[in-house]
Amino acid sequence: MKPNHSSALGVLVLAAGKGERMQSETPKVLHPLAGRPIIYHVLRAVSSLKLSSLAIVVGHEAPAVRLKVQEFVQDSHWIKTPAFFTQKEQLGTGHAVFSGASFLKKHSAVLIVCGDTPLLTYDSLSSVVRFHQTENNAVTLLTARLSNPQNYGRILRSSSGEVLRIVEESEAGDGEKAITEVNSGVYCFSTGLLLKALKEVKPKGPHREYYLTDAVDWVRSHGGKVAALLSPNAEEILGINSRLHLSIAERILNRRTLERFMLVGVTVVDPAATYADSSVEIGAETVLYPGVILKGATRIGKNARIGPYTFIDDSQVGNSAEVRFSCLTSCRVGDAALVGPFAHLRNGAVIGPQARVGNFSEVKKSTLGKGAKVSHLSYIGDAQIGDNVNIGAGVITCNFDGVNKHPTVIEADAFIGSNVNLVAPVRIGKGALVGAGSTITEDVPEEKLALARALQVIKDKKTAGGSKKVAERLRR
């Protein structure tokens, strides 16, 4: 059970910035990362602290950001109502925090987290809070040592090691730029001193911004105790400022997810060529072959074989199922079913246990019963297919009349010959047989044979009109 930190502590997440360096219309904190908006990951880390008071500073595209925060809060059953503060103009992180002044006044201390640092973990955040409380600090910073500290604020310490202030990259001299200890953007502040400091911070830099980092210097020079906690895991403080950072974070989160799978008994043959959103769940003894991409709310059972080269989004795959070289979205695959190579299962496809779909077949909004087979070159749409039905090569359910979609029902044990068109709405009765090449427009009763194709004729090549010319041309 994780400890419940003091309710005197509030959490403030800064998410008002546009994120210019992303070169995007989408606000930075909403860019997808491991299948979720960046801010989801930040909120997940923060929510693990079980603090009961959360505020978010929004600004750029505020309604969209607010919506995503609310979605997270609802999904996680965390707290009922986060407080939102709007920073109308993005005048810097200090200005953003000051926008939440009324929230700060309600708490004796505040944990501030930037909305663009999605790799933070419970361990680091809780260590910062604990350190802040046990040491009675006025400011506690989470810092990290990076071999490439570019773009981060650098931590300036005195010769005896005390934290003096934070210098932003834009104002750092060469000596300061060489400092490798950086500011993570995670801080605990005593709110009384913070509010006083923010009133004194002056705008600076090319955009005349109010830097939150300058509040640290103010607090220290007014007698407040400033301390820093060095993160043992530097990668988790990564701040996403550009698409390059986004790709680095994606790789790290992917690695964490694959490690989680491996710890519960999943074999990942080549982690460098396997991708999974952090929301995916997989059972033990399942093997992921190279080229697998798993997204969204995908759930895979035990002992399954997935890949190589398979994309699965928002789908469920049963125990002992096999899916090879295929594309699955919003569908369900039963236990011990065989999918692929080269199958496309789309929204609402439900493949029964021990059923098969493969070799360039597409299934949409259709149910296949236990042991049913759609093995080659078919399109199955809006259909209900019973147990043990065999669908021959090249069968098409003609479900669309240009205006409406119509259903096809094929009852258990029916056999549909190759290259059959089933013009919906149509029903094929239990155990019926449809001859190859038929175009079926009327229902077929149980256990009957239906043939709907031109009868074959045999003619003499020499006397059968045009066929003689054709034969001659072929001979040349």
Tell whether residue 95 is a contact of ligand UD1 (CB under 6 A).
Answer: yes
Give the position of tokens 């043990």: 388
Q: Which of residues 14-73 bind ligand UD1 (CB under 6 A)?
A: 14-17, 29, 57, 59
- Choice between 183 and 390, CB closer to Mg ion: 183
Whether the CB-CB separation of 127 and 45 falls below 8 Å is answered with no
Whether the CB-CB separation of 181 and 143 falls below 8 Å is answered with yes
Active site residue 132: no
Q: Following DSSP, what letter does each residue of 11-70 receive, concatenated?
A: EEEEE----GGG-SSS-GGGSEETTEEHHHHHHHHHHTT--S-EEEEEBTBHHHHHHHHH
- Choice between 133 and 241, CB closer to Mg ion: 241
Question: Judged by CB under 5 A, which of 33, 78, 85, 116 binds Mg ion?
Answer: 116
Question: Judged by CB under 6 A, which of 115, 283, 334, 369 binds ligand UD1?
Answer: 115
Tell whether residue 168 is a contact of ligand UD1 (CB under 6 A).
Answer: yes
Separation CA 323–CA 372 (nearest Å): 16
User: Considering only 209-217, 297-305, 409-417, 438-446, which stretch makes contact with ligand UD1 by CB under 6 A?
Assistant: 209-217
CA distances from 24 to 16, 17, 81, 206, 241 (A): 15, 12, 30, 21, 11
Question: Which of ligand UD1, Mg ion, none interacts with 359 (beta carbon under 5 to 8 A by kind)?
Answer: none
Tell whether residue 197 is a contact of ligand UD1 (CB under 6 A).
Answer: no
Question: Which of Mg ion, ligand UD1, none interacts with 182 (beta carbon under 5 to 8 A by kind)?
Answer: ligand UD1
Q: Please identify which of the residues 77, 132, 376, 406 carries the catalytic annotation.
A: 376
- Choice between 29 and 410, CB closer to Mg ion: 29
Tell whether residue 127 is a contact of Mg ion (CB under 5 A).
Answer: no
Q: Which of 293, 286, 291 is nearest to 267 (CA)?
A: 286
Tell whether residue 239 is a contact of Mg ion (CB under 5 A).
Answer: yes
Q: Work out the widest C-alpha separation in the chain, in whole angstroms.
A: 113
Looking at residue 396, its amino acid is: I
Q: Following DSSP, what letter does each residue of 156-184 receive, concatenated?
A: EE-TTS-EEEEE-GGG--HHHHT--EEEE
Determine the angle formed by the axes of helices 191-200 and 213-221, rounding to 10 degrees. 110
List all residues 6 or more positions away from 5 whose beta carbon is below 8 Å from its beta carbon.
49, 50, 51, 126, 129, 130, 133
Separation CA 426–CA 437 (nearest Å): 16
Tell whether residue 183 is a contact of ligand UD1 (CB under 6 A).
Answer: yes
Q: Which of residues 135-164 bind ligand UD1 (CB under 6 A)?
A: 152-153
Tell whether residue 411 is a contact of ligand UD1 (CB under 6 A).
Answer: no
Q: Which helix (H) or strand (E) holds 423?
A: strand 421-423
User: Considering only 112-120, 138-146, 193-201, 367-375, which stretch makes contact with ligand UD1 by CB under 6 A?
Assistant: 112-120
Tell whether residue 93 is a contact of ligand UD1 (CB under 6 A).
Answer: yes
User: Taking the complex as a whole, how short is the minimal distance between the CB of residue 91 and ligand UD1, in angstroms?
Assistant: 5
User: Taking the complex as a whole, how short is the minimal distance between the CB of residue 368 and Mg ion, in angstroms?
Assistant: 49
List all residues 6 or more positions away from 100 whose beta carbon is below 8 Å from its beta carbon.
12, 55, 57, 83, 85
- Choice between 85 and 379, CB closer to ligand UD1: 85
Catalytic site positions: 376
Residues that bind ligand UD1 (CB under 6 A): 14-17, 29, 57, 59, 87, 90-93, 95-96, 114-117, 152-153, 166, 168, 182-185, 211-213, 239, 241
Residues that bind Mg ion (CB under 5 A): 116, 239, 241
